[in-house]
Chains A and B, each alone.
Chain A
Amino acid sequence: MQERKVTISNRLGLHARAAAQLVRRASQFNSSVELLRQDTGETADGKSILSVLLLAAACETCLIIKTEGDDEERAVNALAELVEQKFGEEISDGVF
């Protein structure tokens, strides 16, 4: 099993568009993908959009991505990268 701690850093958190991207990416791997919300202890199936949306993870929320399966390492890397790159949303531009 692979684990990676990430912080949601896109301003609006895991809302529909971001969640959809995450679910799509997660579904490309064989491994199971679980998201654990650190502050509340809630978990979500990373391949289910309903489940991910219900985490209601806002900006600054810490999540632990857990993957398990034959491609678990590639999966955890890809998903962490997606979160770190703010789901490709170029909103803040580091201006502040």
Chain B
Amino acid sequence: MASSSATRSRDVKLQGVPASPGIAVGRVLRLDERGRHQFYYIGVSAAQARMEVRRLREAPEEARNQLREIKVRLAEELGYEHSFILDAHLLMLEDARLIHELENEIRTRRVNAEWAVRSVADRAITVYKQVSDPYLRERTSDLEDVATRLLTILSGHDKFDLSKLDQDVIIVAKNIWPSTVAELDFGHVLGFATNTGGLTAHSAIIARSLRIPAVVGLHDVTRLAKTGNLIVVDGAAGEVILRPTKSVLKAYIEKRERENSYRVRDDAETAQAAETIDGVRMTLRANVELPTEIESLRLFGAEGIGLYRSEFLFLNRLPELPGEDEQYEVYRKLAEATGEPGANIRVFDLGGDKLTLAGFEAEQNPALGLRAMRLSLKAEYIFRTQLRAVLRANLHGRLRVVLPLISTITELREAKRIIADVKQELADAQVEHNAHLPIGVMIEVPAAALMADVFAREADFLSVGTNDLIQYILAVDRANENVAHLYQPLHPAILRTIAHLVRVAEAAQVPLELCGEMAADPLQAIALIGLGIRTLSLVPGSIPLVKNAIRSVEFDRVRSLMKEAMKLTSSTEVEELLARELPQQAPRFFAAWSSPA
């Protein structure tokens, strides 16, 4: 079972950015960065140059055929919005000026076709990099992708037909280009591990959407891993273990089995309520990024959408804004698919570490800068367009809007004023819409948590976003490996804050929801329930697991347990208490859940 590789080092553990949860165990398929290092300069004669030109002319045609096929597959598998990126690639390959320049390069400099492609692409990339517009500068990755495709076709050594893999693999690469992701045969891809990339990289998003475990930002995994090596990808922990020893491998296989056994559910179990043994009913809603995830709502038994991350409409296409009609179509789909429980549309959470909008300068400290609702209030036309689309789509179901990163009441008031104004405008223009649109405030900033009673008076509901709330309360960037150990969801400061929010919401009789990664971790989810949270929103794939945890506990006992936990002084103490008590309280679930080494 162990790798027969000559490399002796065992259990090479790498820490990256958790991009898509789940555990994958398998063999590495390392994708080399196609192009860059494989192509050499060959001087040719005039006669040979003519042949090179002929060879070159066939390549864009072949590349276009490949892209058209990929585009169809991509549109079928992931929805139309993903195929947009390939349109730009197709147009570049049809660009007469580019083709002319390539042919000219071969004729005048007497070089082989590959070298011509490489040098013309490098020149164009250099020009693009000098453009002041940040969006144009980003187009270099598209240019590189197109050049690489041409080079691969020209050299005729396509190493793998990625759409016809004959065995299960874990893809290891420097970076996964959008078109490579599109080509992959997902039936055989168990996971991804890449050197570069963040949470919002295209490949990370697609991995989450397809529920394939992925870790990105590993820096040098391509140097350490070789095709055929055994590898473990722990997508939730953001860890990769290369060439694991037998005992480590066994522990991870067991962990994977355990997770899978909770993941694969039959219809009867999916239909069961998220109810504790003593009959307290919880609501489990879905976090959704892509409209194509809608199918998974029924599959995993989600009660509507607790968080639709609308900024993913921008995927790969900034700075063009999705137009009103395009947004309307997406929101309408969400409204129709969620029926009675409905869907919370979170206003574009752009800026900061997420996607950036052209026209706004990069900031020194983006986490504290112009992002989310601050950006929507400043670039009001974006907010208005989104509201018009939501209000119109609201005719087809029960939508609500959630305002991200609110820190003062004046922001809520300003947003409400604009919403009222847009409603009036639609009414005046006799545009059909449903004006009954509850407004929620995301509680993500400590100031908003402390002032929650004030927000509860003026908002229709509150939604706690734990990812950001933890980051801001503890002043820790969880993606920063130097301080990642200080990112502690069970820190007493977090527990106190959540308990406070529960009290405030109860007193004001305002619905309170919670979304964030805490909700998808069974142990932390139970802690949240013990604190009085009733509605959790999480990635759809984790709903069966969390539901199972809920169905295994007694609410009264969990509440008492959290009362004890609130008296503790550190995250470690809280974790120890829960790890000790929950397996006793709920052996059916937690005895098997106790974490591996």
Q: Decide: A91 and B96 in contact? CB cutoff 8 A.
A: no
> Which of chain A's residues have a CB closer than 8 A to the CB of B97?
45, 47-48, 50-51
Q: Decide: B317 and A16 in contact? CB cutoff 8 A.
A: yes
- Indicate whether A40 reaches chain B with its CB closer than 8 angstroms: no
> Which of chain A's residues have a CB closer than 8 A to the CB of B381?
11, 91-92, 95-96
Chain A min CB distance to B134 (Å): 11
Q: Decide: B324 and A91 in contact? CB cutoff 8 A.
A: yes
- Indicate whether A15 reaches chain B with its CB closer than 8 angstroms: yes
Q: Decide: B131 and A93 in contact? CB cutoff 8 A.
A: no
Interface size class of B (residues with CB under 8 A): 20 to 34
> Which of chain B's residues have a CB closer than 8 A to the CB of A50?
92, 95, 97-98, 124
> Which of chain B's residues have a CB closer than 8 A to the CB of A49?
88, 91-92, 95
Chain A window 47-90, contacts with chain B (Cβ cutoff 8 Å), 1 for yes, 0 for no: 11111011010100000000000000000000000000000111
Chain B window 271-294, contacts with chain A (Cβ cutoff 8 Å), 1 for yes, 0 for no: 000000000000000000000000
Q: Decide: A53 and B139 in contact? CB cutoff 8 A.
A: yes
Q: Decide: B385 and A91 in contact? CB cutoff 8 A.
A: yes
Chain A min CB distance to B331 (Å): 15
Q: Decide: A17 and B91 in contact? CB cutoff 8 A.
A: no
Q: Decide: A93 and B324 in contact? CB cutoff 8 A.
A: yes
Q: Decide: B139 and A16 in contact? CB cutoff 8 A.
A: yes
- Indicate whether B132 reaches chain A with its CB closer than 8 angstroms: yes
Q: Decide: B320 and A89 in contact? CB cutoff 8 A.
A: yes
- Indicate whether B592 reaches chain A with its CB closer than 8 angstroms: no
Within 8 A of A (CB), among B48-95: 84, 87-88, 91-92, 94-95
- Indicate whether B323 reaches chain A with its CB closer than 8 angstroms: yes
Within 8 A of B (CB), among A1-45: 11-12, 15-18, 20, 23-24, 27, 45
- Contacts A93-B385, A95-B384 known; A53 to B96 CB distance under 8 Å? no
Q: Decide: A12 and B320 in contact? CB cutoff 8 A.
A: yes
Residue of A12, A51, A88 touching B321 (CB-CB under 8 A): A12
Q: Decide: A48 and B98 in contact? CB cutoff 8 A.
A: yes
Residue of B95, B135, B425 touching A95 (CB-CB under 8 A): B425
Closest to A16 in B: B88
- Indicate whether B420 reaches chain A with its CB closer than 8 angstroms: no
- Indicate whether B33 reaches chain A with its CB closer than 8 angstroms: no
Q: Decide: B323 and A89 in contact? CB cutoff 8 A.
A: yes
Q: Decide: A56 and B136 in contact? CB cutoff 8 A.
A: yes
- Indicate whether B149 reaches chain A with its CB closer than 8 angstroms: no
Within 8 A of A (CB), among B355-392: 358-359, 381, 384-385, 388
- Contacts A20-B88, A56-B132, A95-B384 known; A48 to B320 CB distance under 8 Å? no
Q: Decide: A18 and B131 in contact? CB cutoff 8 A.
A: no
Q: Decide: A12 and B96 in contact? CB cutoff 8 A.
A: no
Closest to B142 in A: A16
Q: Decide: B133 and A56 in contact? CB cutoff 8 A.
A: yes
Distance A33 CA – B424 CA, assembled complex (angstroms):
44
Distance A91 CA – B359 CA, assembled complex (angstroms):
16
Residue of B84, B88, B95, B324 touching A90 (CB-CB under 8 A): B324
Chain B window 414-456, contacts with chain A (Cβ cutoff 8 Å), 1 for yes, 0 for no: 0000000000010000000000000000000000000000000
Distance A95 CA – B136 CA, assembled complex (angstroms):
28
> Which of chain A's residues have a CB closer than 8 A to the CB of B98?
48, 50
Chain B window 130-159, contacts with chain A (Cβ cutoff 8 Å), 1 for yes, 0 for no: 011101100100000000000000000000
Distance A20 CA – B139 CA, assembled complex (angstroms):
13
Distance A51 CA – B358 CA, assembled complex (angstroms):
20
Distance A30 CA – B420 CA, assembled complex (angstroms):
50
Chain B window 312-344, contacts with chain A (Cβ cutoff 8 Å), 1 for yes, 0 for no: 000001011101110000000000000000000
Chain B min CB distance to A27 (Å): 8
- Indicate whether B508 reaches chain A with its CB closer than 8 angstroms: no
- Indicate whether B591 reaches chain A with its CB closer than 8 angstroms: no
Distance A36 CA – B258 CA, assembled complex (angstroms):
64
Residue of B124, B135, B425 touching A15 (CB-CB under 8 A): B135
A-B contact pairs, 9 of them (CB 8 A): A18-B320, A45-B96, A48-B98, A50-B95, A54-B127, A54-B131, A56-B133, A89-B321, A93-B324
Give B residues with C-beta under 8 Å from A: 84, 87-88, 91-92, 94-98, 124, 127-128, 131-133, 135-136, 139, 317, 319-321, 323-325, 358-359, 381, 384-385, 388, 425
Closest 4 CB pairs of A and B: A48-B97, A49-B91, A17-B320, A90-B323
| Known pairs A47-B97, A50-B95, A90-B323 / 11 extra A-B pairs, C-beta < 8 Å | A12-B319, A15-B135, A16-B88, A20-B88, A20-B91, A27-B94, A48-B96, A48-B98, A54-B131, A58-B133, A89-B320
